[in-house]
């Protein structure tokens, strides 16, 4: 199964989220760093926008109410699952 376009779109989300994870862990031990707090909020905005744009095309990225059901069927379990994606 070829999913190159989907994989490309995901890479943008993966990059933004990796930045968020790094800033999150840094803030865990440096909770008053104003510069990093501002960066974190900036990345948060970009990440949310990228996730919502991705979901319009490829279906929900998150379960349990954190992503809307935008398709006229329950697209959550549609292929491919993360370990099946061909990058």
Partner 1 sequence: MWIYEKKLQIPVRVSAPNPRLAKYVITQYGGPEGELSASLRYLNMRYSMPTNRAKGVLTDIGTEELAHMEIVATLVYKLIEGASIEAIRAADLGAHYADHDRSLYWVNAAGVPWVAAYVSATGDPIADLHENMAAEQKARAVYENLLHLSDDPLVNDTLRWLREREVVHFQRFGETLMHVQEYLDRKKIF
Q: Does 66 bind partner 1 (CB under 8 A)?
A: yes
13, 54 contact by CB (below 8 A): yes
Q: Does 29 bind partner 1 (CB under 8 A)?
A: yes
Q: Does 40 bind partner 1 (CB under 8 A)?
A: no
What gap in Å lies between CA 25 and CA 23, rounded to an integer?
6
Q: Does 57 bind partner 1 (CB under 8 A)?
A: no
The number of angstroms, rounded, from the C-alpha of 52 to the middle of its chain's C-alpha atoms is 8
Q: Which of 3, 12, 17, 19 binds partner 1 (CB under 8 A)?
A: 17
Q: Which of 1, 35, 73, 87 binds partner 1 (CB under 8 A)?
A: 87
Q: Does 46 bind partner 1 (CB under 8 A)?
A: no
Q: b/e map of 6-25 (b: 16 or more CB within 10 Å)? A: beebbeebeebbebbeebee
- Nearest C-alpha neighbor of 68 from the set 84, 53, 86, 47: 53
**Which residues are at the interface with partner 1 (CB under 8 A)?**
7, 10-11, 13-14, 17-18, 21-22, 24-26, 28-31, 60-64, 66, 76, 81-83, 85, 87
């Amino acid at each position: 199964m070829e999913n190159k376009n989907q994989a490309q779109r995901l890479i943008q989300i993966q990059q933004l989220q990796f930045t968020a994870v790094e800033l999150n862990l840094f803030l865990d031990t440096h909770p008053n760093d104003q510069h990093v707090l501002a960066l974190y909020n900036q990345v948060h905005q970009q990440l949310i926008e990228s996730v919502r744009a991705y979901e319009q095309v490829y279906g929900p990225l998150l379960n349990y109410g954190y992503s809307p059901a935008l398709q006229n069927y329950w697209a959550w379990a549609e292929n491919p699952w993360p370990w099946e994606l061909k990058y």
